Every structure is written in structure tokens, then in C-alpha cells.
Structure 1
Amino acid sequence: MLLSLDFSSDIPIYQQIRNQIIIAISDGKLLPGDQLPTIRNLADQSGINMMTVSKAYQLLKQEGYITADRRNGAKVAPRNVSSSEIPRVLHNELQLLISQFHLQGVKEDQFLSLCKELYNKEG
């Protein structure tokens, strides 16, 4: 798994790992059941501390994107397609993004057009 980490970014490395794995799952580059690299392997490949990768994997597991155990390692979790309720954490993240776009002067129609474009591009 190749990650593109930006060490000069204000976004913490563990968050960059989390975000890129979620995007890879959504794009179909990682499928349910796919094995993820071990924490040690990903840390070595990326030149980062194992605790950083562990933090990213723990977050992904808590959010339901991956499953992980000592015997089988980390795998992409099955997609949760049965729930029609938007998880609170996603609602809050979207609210924050909308606020950021609004403060940057992005008009509603531009925002919605971008959302539609990106949503239709996904999985």
C-alpha cells in the first residue's frame, strides 16, 4: 500500500493515513476483506513511527472501516449499506466542512456542485 504523506502538513500523519485508507475503500482500491499491511510493515514503508500507524488503525477500527485482531491482522470491513441513519460523527464533520467553505466565500451552488461531482465519482 502506497501512501502519500505530507510531513509539512498541519494534518497529523495518523489522520492522513486514516483519510487515505477511507478514500481507497470508497474508490474501490481497497475492497471488503482486503488485508492491510501490518503496523510494522506500513511504518517501515512510510518511514514513520509504529505508534502513528497504530493510532490510525485504531481510529479506523473504531469508526468501522476496518476490522483488526492479533491473529488475522487488519482487514477492510464489510460495507454497512443497511443503515439509513447518518452517523453523528459524519454529520459533525460535514457541518465543519460546510462552515469552512462558507468562511472561504464559496457560494452554495459551487459547494453543492462540488459535492455532487465528488459523490458521483465515489464507489
Structure 2
Amino acid sequence: MFIEIESNSDVPIYLQLAHQLMEGIVRGELKPGDSLPSVRAFASDLGMNMHTVNKTYHYLEEKEFIQIVAKSGVIIRPSGIPKATEEEKQKLEAQLRPIITEGLVRKLSEEELVEMVRKLVQNIEEGKE
């Protein structure tokens, strides 16, 4: 799996890393039970601060995508990723609302917004930018 971090992005580095790991899960490049590198090794490989990788791992653990096992390492949740709860769906909807609102203010139609989402889903699943 190839990780690319944009240092001049408005998105914090730990979130960029988390999002790319999540995309790896979506594409099946990272499967339940797969091990991830140690914080130290991953930070070294990516040329970033260990605290950034640690923050990424704790973010993903909080979302129940990975498990951090003391003395054993970090693994993709062996039982698989749980389906979104109603509360999680509502949170995602709340996060999408301002983005969709901006698109509507910029005179994008509902069809254009839906097509953008379809294209993004396809690109994520296929590993395209």
C-alpha cells in the first residue's frame, strides 16, 4: 500500500494517514487481522514524527477500525469493521451537510452532487486520486 502525505494540505497529517489507511481497508489491501507497522517503524518509513503515527492509530482505534494490542502491535480489527450505528450515520451526515450546502450555494444541482459522490466512491474503491 502506497501512502502519500501532502505537507501543504489543510488536512492534518494524522488525518491524511488515517484516511489513507481507511481507503486501504475499503479496497481490501488491509484485511481483518493484518498487522500494521509499529509506531516507530511506520514513522521512520514515512519520515514523520512518531507522535503523528501514534495519534493516527489512536484515532483509528477510537473508530474501532484497528486494535492496539500491548506488546503485540497494531492489527486491523480481526472481527471486521462494525457496520455504522444510527448515531455514526447521523454524525457523518452532519459532517457532509456543510459541504453539500457549499455545493448548493455554488449552484451545483442535486444530480451533480450525487454524481460527485458516486465518482469518489468508485475512485476510493479502485485506488484512484
Q: TM-score range by the shorter chain?
A: 0.7 to 0.9
| Matching of residues 45-60 of structure 1 within 5 Å | 45-60=45-60
Identity of paired residues, percent? 29
In 2, distance between residues paired with 1:100 and 1:68? 38
Name the counterpart of 1:95. Answer: 97
TM-score, normalized by length of structure 1? 0.84
After superposition, the Cα gap between the structure-2 partners of 1:104 and 1:21, relative to the gap in structure 1 and judged at 3 Å, is: farther
Structure 2 residue runs of 5 or longer lacking an equivalent are none
CA RMSD across the alignment = 2.2
Q: Which residue of 2 is the match for residue 18 of structure 1?
A: 18
**In structure 2, how many angstroms separate the alpha carbons of the residues matched to 1:61 and 1:69?**
11
Identify if the C-alpha distance between structure 1 residues 116 and 63 changes in structure 2 by more than 3 Å, giving closer, same or farther. Answer: same
Separation in structure 1 between the aligned mates of residue 15 and residue 85 of structure 2, nearest angstrom: 26
- Per the alignment, residue 71 of structure 2 pairs with 71
TM-superposed CA distance for 1:74, in Å, is: 1.0
- How far does the alpha carbon of each residue in 1:15-60 deviate from its partner, in whole angstroms, 9 at most, with x for none? 1001101111111111111111111011001111000110011000
SS at match of 2:117: helix
The alpha-carbon distance between structure 1 residues 9 and 120, as it changes in their structure 2 partners (threshold 3 A), is closer
The 1-side partners of 2:106 and 2:43 are apart by 35
**Secondary structure, counterpart of 1:75 in structure 2:** strand
Unaligned runs of 5+ in 1: none
| Distance change >3 Å, CA 101–CA 7, structure 1 → 2 | same
Specify whether residues 104 and 36 from structure 1 end up closer, same or farther in structure 2 by C-alpha distance, changes over 3 A only.
farther
Match of 2:86 in 1: 85
Give the paired residue count. 122
